[in-house]
Amino acid sequence: MLVKKIVITSIFFSLMITLALVFRPVPYASPENTMKTFGTIEKVFKAGEHGVVFTLEGDDRLFYIDQGLKRGLHFTSLQEELPGKSVDIYYVKYWTPIDPLSKVKHISKVNMNSITLYSAIK
């Protein structure tokens, strides 16, 4: 009986720890916790009401700006001007147990020709 309680308790705590890791919030962007990638914008599309997503040519990841349209970005101008342009994208270094399944990276900064189009780095 004692072994059964230990096993059930262990499973419960393991599940709680896994859920906490999966659903923890994305940390705030800073120069120390970002990674850089570069490429050519293939597509720009909306995600939800205020989110913006970029795809790069030859890259299967999605680069996401949370609340980007509330932060001064204009979707129609992004959609018309960015496809085919080379950009540097900085995204937050962040890991969860579902990362192998999820290809979404949270953008902290976007540069095009040394001009910053968007930045959330503190």
* Amino acid 24: pLDDT: 66
CA distance 43 to 62: 10
* Amino acid 68: pLDDT: 66
Q: How far is CA 44 from CA 7, 11, 56, 62, 95, in A?
A: 48, 42, 9, 10, 24
* Amino acid 98: pLDDT: 62
The answer, as to whether pTM is greater than 0.75, is no
pLDDT in tens, 52-77: 898 999 999 999 888 766 667 778 78
More confident site: 30 or 44:
44
Q: Is the pLDDT of residue 23 over 70?
A: no
CA distance 35 to 95: 13
Instruction: Report DSSP letters for 23-79, one per residue.
Output: TPPPPPP-GGGEEEEEEEEEEEEEETTTEEEEEETT---EEEETTGGGGT--HHHHH
